[in-house]
Amino acid sequence: MVDATFPVNILIGGTPVRVVSSDEVFARMIAGQYAGFTAAEAGEAVEVDVTLTDASLPFDGDADEDLAVHNESGIWIMRRGDFSARYDPVRRSCTVRQNANRYSIDSVIRIIHTLTLAPGHGFLLHAASAIRAGRALILAGPSGAGKTTMASLAPRDVRLLSDEVSYIRKCGSGFTASGTPFTGELGRAGENVSAPVAALYFLHHAAENRIERLADAEAARLLMRNILFFACDPGLVSRVFDLACEFISAVPASRLFFVPDERIWERIR
């Protein structure tokens, strides 16, 4: 008798990932978590094979262990207090051990995307993003900077891509932003659409609305602070830095000082 498996095909930013487990309830939870980003077929997807451990028992590691990602002979090893994983980028396959929760697999998928994007001209960014008039606007900043606030204040003609993690990919001489299901405090997935990036704003709460254009060097420094990258690998870090510089050369960057009301969107049309 062959054990049944339950695949969920997830397509974010044009990169397909197929999560497979033998637990139908877990598969349904994952399908619901990534609703709007699932597909019947996923082509040449990264295969993520999940083995679930007994939720009544502690995971086989320190529950408080911080995330660590490193490469051993071409295999990416990922560990945190709630999961362990091995990712082979050549075979496009990943094995994961975790309890049946959505947070562990979500972290693994984010890490896989960062590792896939870095050599392929892209990155994940700690930023809200939205499309207006066919152009993507990126609103970056650390927790508390106002990403979710800006997303919640967006007018009806704005299509939200994310309020937390934006997917950026180089396209010709410019860059595109794509929607992601990675949510912040808003708790709402972005739309599964893409658009050319027109502007980057670094958010700051203030007593008045104003925009301050940044020099390229300062913009690149701030951008690097907001790029999500988890691996300890000097070569890929160097590639991400080069991409950040290319992005700043192609996209105007500014500080956006704002009062939290809908009038701020009049400034960033």
Q: Which domain range does residue 158 map to?
A: 122-266
Give the chain's largest Cα–Cα span: 68
Q: How many CB atoms lie within 10 A of CB 54?
A: 9
Q: Are residues 217 and 171 in the same domain?
A: yes
CA angle 106, 109, 111 (to 5 degrees): 110
How far apart CA 122 and CA 126 sit, in angstroms, is 13
pLDDT digits (tens, 9 = 90+) for 28-61: 999 999 999 998 887 889 999 999 997 655 555 5
* Alpha-helical segments (H) within the chain: 24-33, 102-117, 147-153, 216-226, 234-250
Residue 1 in any domain: the answer is no
C-alpha distances out from residue 186 to 102, 176, 190, Å: 17, 23, 10
Domain holding 262: CATH number?
A: 3.90.228.20
pLDDT digits (tens, 9 = 90+) for 152-196: 999 999 999 999 999 999 998 899 999 999 987 767 889 999 999
Residue 104's identity, in one-letter code, is S
pLDDT over 60 (residue 10): yes
Residue 111 in any domain: the answer is yes
pTM: 0.90
